[in-house]
């Protein structure tokens, strides 16, 4: 049995920033991580190109840096982007917090350039978007690239490894509570005692949080699920936009269903990758700062919320992803021209596209067998609106990968200091549903740690 001032669960952005804040205040911190250290994190699919081996835990999502270690490393500096923290703290406080964590990322090696701030060009693009019926959200972004992001995470490890006890390959198994107060956590069959615990297990740990909440009698509230596709096109098509903004955050209200559809995670000259959940494969994308592909990818996502009697958007999203996996034996890829012509893509048709798919093991197929009519209609209508904003985006060789699902975890019931109803038990990051990006995950870690310090 160990004894600490604080235990932090998960070494993603939220956990790292929480542990950093606590150790800087001189507290004895145990950081538990179910994955391995950064150097040891290797995705077999990436190294051998032989398809996903469904490692447990997933090398892409688990270990030092969490899902951030292989991500594109775009730091979105706007409080409107990357999570729900704005629902917990006042906008100026959130803005200040984001500035603080941005400084830390910068101090550890994130580049100084910020995209999306060149005002005249931004305004011109915003007007162009408006003319196409789209809303372009202001989103200054710092781009690290997957390679630099790993270096930055390594530097954060160097800082923290001297100050905190970091245990890899050590999943937190449970939380001990007595008389409404947290007593510590269970790991490796032992109780690690602490008056303060910060839970930051990321999206991969969302199921674990859900079970934990049930066991502890804590409420969770479903966040909407985002369902759609990953779009890939020749980089030249989007260059006029990405060279100014790096990433364009565009919103559209689809004419038929009046759904909110948005672009997400744009990766200029990047590649499409798998994202692995316990029982399904979805798609994602990233880009390197140093190596470039000839294609740009981004997600097109339809916000999907339920009210009653059904209120389990995560189960719904998983169901759709599993259906696509069933049909494609993994990830499906289809040319837009095939989709709109009502026919499947075949290997021969895919071989004809100007820029070949960057996800090599995707199966040419038919997304209309997997995506509900509503989502498919939303996607196609939005692509045509995007084509008016950026000609060529709905070209015949545009590729659609499916499906992309963003789960955002159920939101653990937390107060404005990110504390649960159990005294001393805090939540931060994507896994408890307060963030969906590196900046808000980091900020939520700092915010929870500060509240924990007050309690200590």
Ligand X SMILES: Cc1cc2nc3c(=O)[nH]c(=O)nc-3n(C[C@H](O)[C@H](O)[C@H](O)COP(=O)(O)OP(=O)(O)OC[C@H]3O[C@@H](n4cnc5c(N)ncnc54)[C@H](O)[C@@H]3O)c2cc1C
Q: Which residues bind ligand X (CB under 6 A)?
A: 9-15, 32-35, 57, 61-63, 66-68, 70-74, 76, 82, 171-172, 200-205, 208, 265, 273, 275, 284, 286, 429-431, 435-439, 441
The candidate with the shortest Cα–Cα distance to 234, out of 396, 48, 431, 86, is: 396
What's the min distance (Å) between Cβ of 239 and ligand X?
Answer: 19
CA 88, 92, 97 angle in degrees (round to 5)? 75
Residue 200 or 355 with smaller CB distance to ligand X: 200
Q: Give me the least distance between CB of 199 and ligand X, in Å please.
A: 8
Beta carbon of residue 341, minimum distance to ligand X (angstroms, whole number)? 31
CB 247 → ligand X: shortest distance, Å?
8
CA nearest to 9, candidates 423, 448, 422: 448
Q: How many helices (H) and strands (E) does the chain have?
A: 12, 23
Minimum CB distance to ligand X, residue 392 (Å): 24
Taking residue 438's Cβ as centre, other Cβ atoms within 10 Å add up to: 32
From the CB of 274, what's the least distance to ligand X, in Å? Answer: 9
Q: Pick the closer one to ligand X by CB: 173 or 253.
A: 173
Q: What is the DSSP string of 203-270?
A: GGGHHHHHHHHHHHT--EEPPPEEEEEEEEEEHHHHHHHHHHHSS-EEEEE-TTT--EEEEEEEETT-
Of the pair 171, 365, the CB lying nearest ligand X is at: 171
Residue 282 half-sphere exposure toward CB, CA atoms < 13 A:
23
Q: How far apart are CA 264 and CA 405, in angstroms?
A: 11
CA contacts within 13 A on the Cβ side of 319: 7
Residue placing its CB nearer to ligand X in the complex, 132 or 216: 216
| Structure tokens belonging to residue 372 | 């509900």
Taking the complex as a whole, how short is the minimal distance between the CB of residue 296 and ligand X, in angstroms?
14
Residue closer to ligand X by CB (options 317, 335) is: 317
Q: Which is nearer to ligand X, 254 or 263 (CB)?
A: 263
* Smaller CB separation from ligand X, 203 or 344: 203
CA count, 13 A, side-chain hemisphere, 273: 23
């Amino acid at each position: 049995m160990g004894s600490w001032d604080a235990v932090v669960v998960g070494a993603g952005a939220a956990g790292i920033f929480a542990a950093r804040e606590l150790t800087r205040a001189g507290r004895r911190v145990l950081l538990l991580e179910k994955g391995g250290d950064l150097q040891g994190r290797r995705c077999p699919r990436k190294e051998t190109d032989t398809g996903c081996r469904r490692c447990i835990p997933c090398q892409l999502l688990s270990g030092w840096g969490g899902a951030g270690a292989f991500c594109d490393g775009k730091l979105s500096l706007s409080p409107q982007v990357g999570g729900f923290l704005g629902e917990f703290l006042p906008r100026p406080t959130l803005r200040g917090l984001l500035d603080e964590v941005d400084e830390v990322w910068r101090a550890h090696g994130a580049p100084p350039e910020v995209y999306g701030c060149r005002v005249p060009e931004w305004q011109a693009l915003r007007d162009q978007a408006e003319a196409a019926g789209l809303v372009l959200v202001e989103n200054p972004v710092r781009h690290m690239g997957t390679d630099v992001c790993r270096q930055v995470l390594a530097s954060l490890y160097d800082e923290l490894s001297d100050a905190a006890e970091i245990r890899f390959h050590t999943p937190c198994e449970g939380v001990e509570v007595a008389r409404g107060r947290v007593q510590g956590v269970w790991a490796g069959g032992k109780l690690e005692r602490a008056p303060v615990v910060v839970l930051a297990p990321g999206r991969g740990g969302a199921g674990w949080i859900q079970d934990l909440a049930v066991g502890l009698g804590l409420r969770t509230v479903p966040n909407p699920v985002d369902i759609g596709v990953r779009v890939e096109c020749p980089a030249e098509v989007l260059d006029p936009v990405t060279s100014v903004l790096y990433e364009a955050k565009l919103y559209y209200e689809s004419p038929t269903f009046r759904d909110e559809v948005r672009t997400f995670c744009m990766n200029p000259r990047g590649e499409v990758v798998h994202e692995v959940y316990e029982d399904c494969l979805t798609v994602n994308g990233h880009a390197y700062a140093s190596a470039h592909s000839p294609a740009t990818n981004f997600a097109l996502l339809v916000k999907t919320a339920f009210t009653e009697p059904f209120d389990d958007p995560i189960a719904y999203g998983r169901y759709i992803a599993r259906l696509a996996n069933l049909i494609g034996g993994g990830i499906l890829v289809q040319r837009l021209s095939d989709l709109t012509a009502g026919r499947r893509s075949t290997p021969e048709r895919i071989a004809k596209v100007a820029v070949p798919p960057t996800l090599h093991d995707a199966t040419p197929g038919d997304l209309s067998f997997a995506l509900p009519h509503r989502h498919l209609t939303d996607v196609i209508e939005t692509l045509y609106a995007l084509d008016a904003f950026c000609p060529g985006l709905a070209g015949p060789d545009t590729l659609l990968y499916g499906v992309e699902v963003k789960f955002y975890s159920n939101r653990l019931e937390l107060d404005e200091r990110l504390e649960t109803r159990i005294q001393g038990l805090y939540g931060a990051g994507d896994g408890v549903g307060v963030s969906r990006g590196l900046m808000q995950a980091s900020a939520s870690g700092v915010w929870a740690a500060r509240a924990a310090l007050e309690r200590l």
